[in-house]
Structure 1
Amino acid sequence: MIDKRIAVIGTPGKWSTDVLADHLEARTGFRCVVDMAEVVLELETGKLRYGDILLNELDGVIIKKVSETYSPAADDRIRMLSSLEADGVRCFSRPGQISRLINRLEGTAALASGNVSLPPTRVTENTDEALEAIREFGKAILKPLYSTKARGMVVLDVANDEAVNRRKLDAFRDRHGLFYLQKFVNLGGQDLGMVFIGGEYMCTYARVSGANTWNTTIHSGGKYQAYHASPELIALGRQAQACFELSFTTVDIALTDDGPVVFEVSAFGGFSGALKGCGLDAAGAVCDHVLAELQTDNREPA
């Protein structure tokens, strides 16, 4: 039994949150699941309280989930957690790195700056420029800046009447503001999730699409399968995740006719794909990584 008090920032009752808490309790004897909707930040002191627990007194927190959806509010919750890091509490992953991935544009811009292979992407507020991007791409995916599991995404095809595309763009702008357009790439019925813990490659699984859907998300009926990634593909995933400093992440990769491209690096990563696709207990591996890091912190300097 390791004498460390580590909380899980997550969604009480959700499997991915509870399995982390179970592993931590088995290793440390301490269990605490924190729902960010119930947390209070005292700005004058920097103290973060969850009920009777002062989170600033913990040895660490594992940030699994701050909200069921990505939104500016989710980013606000991440910024609240930054006060823990400022007070010396180890956060896995670091709030500042997670924040870079909550907003799709900021995350993609970081990947582009890292010379990671991406689908051609255009960002604009101008409807005419957005229509020009659709003409250039032939087919495009219009993506909200804050979303997961393909929610809110719209497929726009140059074969459609331009007036139809314009109406869809205007309706999207009324709801989301900025246009973020990526060239539609043929997934061949699957894309990949490449798992990294502490920057180390663990495994790759495939998400195979369900019937009559353009995306492969489990939310839309996709299924997990094992996948043997080549060294070149692993190198691409490693390059992408290295743009951020995450304790645990999955890199979403598509194998296109023009070669592999990275769609995104996950702010939190999923345990289910690693378990069902690779047979990897990622939650347990994350806990082992976190405890090893905290034990290293406590070692006396040589």
Structure 2
Amino acid sequence: MLNKPKIGVIGIPGKWSTEVLADRLEEQTGFRAVIDMNQVELRLDTNELMYQGLDLMTLDGLIIKKISEVYSPATEDRIHLLSHAERAGVKVFSPTDSVGNLVNRLSGTLALQQGNIPMPKTRITESPAHAFETVREFGSAILKPLYSTKARGMIMLTDDDSDEFVRNALEEYRQNQSIYYIQQTVKLDGRDLGMVFVGGEYLCTYARVGNKDSWNTTINSGGKYELFEPDARLIELGRKAQACYDLSFTTVDIALTDQGPVVFEVSAFGGFKGALEGCNIDAARVYAEHVLQEVTKS
């Protein structure tokens, strides 16, 4: 192929997952572009989407590795800018409609529910009274922000908390949230799973093993990655969950509980470190090769 495709990476400059994906693309094509969305300008008068002198509309593809450091409604504005390039014929991975559904936790959850995916018991309401009743009914519950990653901003409430403490926590949560998203905690065995898919095909599964000082297993809270070998039934659950969306690369978060496996969420921007450290697989290379195959299809 004389003219190798030019693929840009939407991400956070300097962040490992962003940079390693750009590295893998550069190795294959000789072209490298890491694009920070806060420096992108859409010029509707000239139909250009500019980043540091580069018109993204001239690229063959864009990979949305990380669209913002912190999720917020503003993240959806960035998706709209990229959807303009997508409609103009630039291939975007994952498609902007799919990413948009997953930036907001509520829309992502509803897609899983409609796909009949087993999840922890979940209630959503604007009513403080209903939220309080739900927390008390669940016994142990987690308040989850609609826009967050890596368990940031989550509040855990238990049977041991007083009514006053629970009401104060609900009030504090609502100061930054439009609606209560309340999920019953599940009994983990100290780990949860990240099941990786590329182009809808199963790649590997790693476990996030928590440290004993934190209620969650995220790496931010001191967890570590280990290899996990799922059975065919569990892989099929992961496949079914990610199929609720049209994603080019994703990690399905699965917990093994005494009630059977449940899906916490499907990630729009799954990272590569779990596959590398847990499974010894260079998922960034696999993803780059998948994108290049898709872009070069006649």
TM over 0.5: yes
Distance 2:24 2:39 in 1: 23
Distance 1:47 1:96 in 2: 21
Distance 2:211 2:72 in 1: 27
SS in 1 for 2:175: helix
5+ residue gaps, structure 1, are none
Q: Hey, what does 1:188 align to over in structure 2?
A: 189
Distance 1:113 1:136 in 2: 24
Q: Hey, what does 2:21 align to over in structure 1?
A: 20
Q: Hey, what does 2:256 align to over in structure 1?
A: 255
After the TM superposition, which residues 44-55 of structure 1 pair with which residues of structure 2 at under 5 Å, given as runs?
A: 44-55=45-56
Q: Hey, what does 1:216 align to over in structure 2?
A: 217
Q: Displacement of 1:127 after TM fit?
A: 1.1
Q: Hey, what does 1:133 align to over in structure 2?
A: 134
Q: Hey, what does 1:59 align to over in structure 2?
A: 60
TM-score, normalization by structure 1: 0.96
Deviations for 1:250-297, whole angstroms, at most 9, x for unmatched residues? 00000011010000000111100010000110000001001111121x
Q: Displacement of 1:47 after TM fit?
A: 2.4
Does the 8 A contact of 1:94 with 1:246 survive in 2?
Answer: yes
Distance 1:52 1:160 in 2: 55
Q: Hey, what does 1:176 align to over in structure 2?
A: 177
State yes or no: 1:166 paired with 2:167: yes
Deviations for 1:154-204, whole angstroms, at most 9, x for unmatched residues? 111233211210111011111223110000111110000000000000000
Q: Hey, what does 2:36 align to over in structure 1?
A: 35
Does the 8 A contact of 2:5 with 2:296 survive in 1?
Answer: no
Deviations for 1:2-31, whole angstroms, at most 9, x for unmatched residues? 611111111111111111111111111111
Deviations for 1:111-133, whole angstroms, at most 9, x for unmatched residues? 00000000010001111101111
Distance 1:15 1:202 in 2: 20
Q: Hey, what does 1:142 align to over in structure 2?
A: 143
Q: Hey, what does 2:200 align to over in structure 1?
A: 199
Percent of aligned pairs with the same amino acid: 57
Question: Aligned-pair RMSD on alpha carbons?
Answer: 1.1
Q: Hey, what does 2:234 align to over in structure 1?
A: 233
Runs (4+) off by over 3 Å:
43-46
Distance 1:105 1:44 in 2: 35
Q: Which moved more, 1:38-47 or 1:214-223?
A: 38-47
Q: Hey, what does 2:90 align to over in structure 1?
A: 89
Deviations for 1:214-247, whole angstroms, at most 9, x for unmatched residues? 0000000000000000111101100100000110
SS in 2 for 1:8: strand
SS in 2 for 1:214: coil
Does the 8 A contact of 1:189 with 1:216 survive in 2?
Answer: yes
Letter matched to residue 171 of structure 1: E
Q: Hey, what does 1:7 align to over in structure 2?
A: 8
Distance 2:154 2:252 in 1: 19
SS in 2 for 1:284: helix
Q: Hey, what does 2:80 align to over in structure 1?
A: 79
Letter matched to residue 275 of structure 1: L
Does the 8 A contact of 1:119 with 1:261 survive in 2?
Answer: yes
Letter matched to residue 66 of structure 2: K
Letter matched to residue 98 of structure 1: V
After the TM superposition, which residues 266-285 of structure 1 pair with which residues of structure 2 at under 5 Å, given as runs?
A: 266-285=267-286
5+ residue gaps, structure 2, are none
Distance 1:101 1:46 in 2: 27
How many residues are paired up?
297
Does the 8 A contact of 1:209 with 1:221 survive in 2?
Answer: yes
SS in 2 for 1:224: strand
TM-score, normalization by structure 2: 0.97
Does the 8 A contact of 1:139 with 1:156 survive in 2?
Answer: yes
Q: Displacement of 1:210 after TM fit?
A: 1.2
